[in-house]
């Protein structure tokens, strides 16, 4: 098949996307496909002809820090369009588009709705699932209403958020998050009022709406969903601090144990909860659901859902798939096949 891998874009998770995309493109070529890897934000020339490669030589390394989006905008003539000129033309020439974007328009449903309008077939969840899962406030409301346990939270806008109101409403310790970012971008764990002011300032750099939730000490787990089945849970143990952007994507900073050291009942309960969240949020052929096991109660508390889990060398979903006997190339082929068989 001819496959376009869409990556990059104007998102704080841009580098994660490009790293995922490089591995995905190489994998699809090894499986006999012809691939074009495209940074969705940049224009293609008017005379550009669809160009699909058979050589698996894509490579990208994630730095310790998020990319400078202002510099990227300047490099693209200050373009305000999130989809570069002629990019959709390349997608129309392909059999399927593999969405390797993370965050922003790639994961909040905007891109999926656009591709739907052009009749372009694509991988992963549809625009409704992406929208519901990317907005942490909406997803937590849906989970709570369905009986899925999630940490107590409040939503704050830049105009009405100050440390004293957070302390009054949520208390300490707490977790400060941009409402619709992934990859732990802009997230801080806060233990006192002086840390809170710094955390708010950091999070507001990325969004004007923040979600602040009560901190639940415990063990952190993630469960991938693939084609209607839950994969083996993975436990995440940062060697220092919490599972932030640096610890996620720099080698050797986090231990991941898969299958996680849980009893059969705990594993079953966790997988069942993950599947429930996947269905509640109307996610597609694959996703990843994150949890904390409350240190006091032993209950699994859902943190959030990921409509487009990372596919980098250090990402969790490929490790969970491997524990289920599915290698990286097979995982990519399964995702593509699900897109080709989707009928909605």
Is residue 135 annotated as a catalytic residue, yes or no? Answer: no
Is residue 299 annotated as a catalytic residue, yes or no? Answer: no
How many angstroms separate the CA atoms of 106 and 121, rounded? 15
DSSP structural state of residue 179: T
Choosing from 107, 135, 304, 333, which is the catalytic residue?
304
**149 contact partners, CB below 8 Å, separation of at least 6:** 299, 300, 301, 302
Choosing from 60, 156, 245, 249, which is the catalytic residue?
249
Is residue 109 annotated as a catalytic residue, yes or no? Answer: no
How many angstroms separate the CA atoms of 316 and 113, rounded? 27
Choosing from 310, 320, 328, 333, which is the catalytic residue?
310
How many angstroms separate the CA atoms of 174 and 150, rounded? 14
Choosing from 9, 13, 66, 247, which is the catalytic residue?
13
Choosing from 306, 319, 320, 328, which is the catalytic residue?
306
| Residue appearing with tokens 């901190």 | 215
Choosing from 107, 207, 244, 290, which is the catalytic residue?
290
Is residue 64 annotated as a catalytic residue, yes or no? Answer: no
CB 20 within 8 A of CB 103: no
Is residue 78 annotated as a catalytic residue, yes or no? Answer: no
Joined tokens for residue 127: 């625009």
Is residue 264 annotated as a catalytic residue, yes or no? Answer: no
Joined tokens for residue 302: 């859902």
What's the burial of 74, exposed, middle or buried (CB within 10 Å: 0-12/13-18/19+)?
Answer: exposed
Is residue 66 annotated as a catalytic residue, yes or no? Answer: no
Q: What is the DSSP string of 83-144?
A: S-TTHHHHHHTSSEEEE---SHHHHSSHHHHHHHHHT--BSS--HHHHHHHHSHHHHHHHHH
Q: Categorise residue 148: left if φ over 0, alpha if ψ from -120 to 50, beta otherwise.
A: beta
Is residue 33 annotated as a catalytic residue, yes or no? Answer: no
Choosing from 124, 288, 319, 328, which is the catalytic residue?
288
How many angstroms separate the CA atoms of 239 and 259, rounded? 19
Choosing from 97, 108, 183, 222, which is the catalytic residue?
183
CB 287 within 8 A of CB 125: yes
* Strand, helix or coil for residue 220: strand
What is the signed CA dihedral for 8, 107, 219, 175, rounded to 10 degrees?
90
Catalytic residues: 13, 183, 249, 288, 290, 304, 306, 310
């Amino acid at each position: 098949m001819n496959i376009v891998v869409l990556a990059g874009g104007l998102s704080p998770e841009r580098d994660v996307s490009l790293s995922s995309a490089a591995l995905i493109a190489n994998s699809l070529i090894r499986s006999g496909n012809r691939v074009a890897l495209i940074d969705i934000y940049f224009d293609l020339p008017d005379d550009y002809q669809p160009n699909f490669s058979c050589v698996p030589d894509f490579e990208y390394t994630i730095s310790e820090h998020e990319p400078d989006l202002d510099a990227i905008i300047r490099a693209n003539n200050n373009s305000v369009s999130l989809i570069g000129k002629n990019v959709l033309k390349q997608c129309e020439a392909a059999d399927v588009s593999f969405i390797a974007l993370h965050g922003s328009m790639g994961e909040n449903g905007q891109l999926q709705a656009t591709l739907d309008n052009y009749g372009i077939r694509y991988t992963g969840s549809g625009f409704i699932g992406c929208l519901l899962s990317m907005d942490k406030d909406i997803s937590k409301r849906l989970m709570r209403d369905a009986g899925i346990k999630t940490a107590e939270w409040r939503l704050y806008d830049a105009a009405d958020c100050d440390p004293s109101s957070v302390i009054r409403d949520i208390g300490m310790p707490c977790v400060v998050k941009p409402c619709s970012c992934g990859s732990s971008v802009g997230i801080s764990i806060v233990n006192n009022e002086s840390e809170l002011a710094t955390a708010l300032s950091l999070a507001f750099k990325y969004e004007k709406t923040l979600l602040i939730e009560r901190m639940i000490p415990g063990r952190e787990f993630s469960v991938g969903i693939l084609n209607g089945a839950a994969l083996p849970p993975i436990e995440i143990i940062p060697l220092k601090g919490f599972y932030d952007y640096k610890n996620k994507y720099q080698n050797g900073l986090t231990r991941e144990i898969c299958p996680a050291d849980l009893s059969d009942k705990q594993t079953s309960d966790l997988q069942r909860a993950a599947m429930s969240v996947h269905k509640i949020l109307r996610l597609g052929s694959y996703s990843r659901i994150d949890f904390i096991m409350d240190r006091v109660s032993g209950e699994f508390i859902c943190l959030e859902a990921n409509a487009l889990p990372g596919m980098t060398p250090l990402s969790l979903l490929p490790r969970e798939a491997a524990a289920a006997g599915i290698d990286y190339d097979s995982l990519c082929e399964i995702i593509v096949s699900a897109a080709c068989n989707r009928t909605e």
